[in-house]
Amino acid sequence: MNNDIARFNMIEQQIRPWEVLDGAVLSLLSVVKRENFAPMAHKALAFVDMEIPLKDGNQTGQVMLPPRVEARLLQDADVKRTDKVLEVGTGSGYMAALLAHQAASVLSFELDATLAQQARTNLQAAGIHNVEVRQADGSQGAPSDGPFDVIMLSGSVPNVPQVLLNQLSIGGRLLAVVGEDPVMRASVITRTSDQQWQTSEPWDTMAPRLQGFPEHNRFSF
């Protein structure tokens, strides 16, 4: 099966059934070549409904999220052409590439130096020039670069830190997978005023933890 057929099947059999019906998002998934952001060892899995490990052994859980999850997050972000976007967890750079096609600019943080450099290489090869990848802990955001119209956490967190919510513009949206295994939900948090945020949890999913975000205290008896 060639890549174009596999990509078509991914969109029609995985992504549309997950209520991703935005024509702009679906078209973008055909434009940005997912296989070019998958690790060489796993390119054959680029269109499969699964997490793709980004490092040998995958000890820290860095993965490309399943295509349907990426697509649904992108649709729910409702990115505008004028938006300034912050992403935490660059990984291979694929989500940053999708965001870049819809936004004015993307600032993306990746804690792992090897992945950060690989993402820069992937983005450059794809001809994408409005993404800045910083090798750093993004759990505190980038206050001096904000405010942001969209903040995307490309992994799960136990809760969303207030420091990130404070970096949203009025009307800005933060998207994350929030919760504890085995119960996690996609959260869309919209800043409605200086001191108010509105949260919706439109769908369930699972995702590996982003590094740098503290876990809840766990008590044992």
Residue 220 lies in a domain: no
Give the chain's domain count: 1
Res 163 pLDDT > 90: yes
Confidence at residue 55, expressed as pLDDT on a 0 to 100 scale = 82
Q: Give the per-residue pLDDT at 67.
A: 98
Cα(106)–Cα(206) distance, integer angstroms: 25
pLDDT at 218 over 80: no
Task: Determine, yes or no, domain membership for 215.
Answer: no
For residue 213, tell me if it sits in a domain: no
DSSP character for 207? Answer: -
pLDDT mean over 88-97: 97
Residue 167 near residue 174, CB atoms below 8 Å: no
Dist CA 20 CA 27 (whole Å): 11
List b or e across 75-109, with b for residues whose CB sees 16 or more CB atoms inside 10 angstroms: bbbbbeeebbbbbbbbbbbbbbbbbbbbbebbbbb
Provide φ and ψ at 203, rounded to 5°: -160, 160
Q: How many residues does the chain have?
A: 221
Residue 158 belongs to a domain: yes
For residue range 23-38, list pLDDT tens digits in order.
999 999 999 999 999 9
Residue 128 lies in a domain: yes
Assess if residue 75 is contained within a domain.
yes
With a pLDDT cut of 90, the percent of the chain lying above it is 90
Please report where in the chains the tokens 């976007």 appear, as a residue: 85
CATH number of the domain that 68 lies in? 3.40.50.150
Answer whether residue 110 is part of any domain: yes
128-149 average pLDDT score: 97
Domain that holds residue 58: 3-204
Whole-number pLDDT of residue 28? 97
How confident is the model at residue 221, as a pLDDT? Answer: 43
Question: What integer pLDDT is reported at residue 212 of this predicted model?
Answer: 86
Residue 94, token pair as written in the block: 């694929």
220 has a pLDDT exceeding 90: no
Read off the pLDDT of residues 176-186 as tens digits, 9 standing for 90 and up: 999 998 899 99
In angstroms, the Cα distances linking 181 to 96, 146, 161, 196 are 26, 31, 19, 28
209 found inside a domain = no
- Tell me the mean pLDDT in the region 133-142: 96
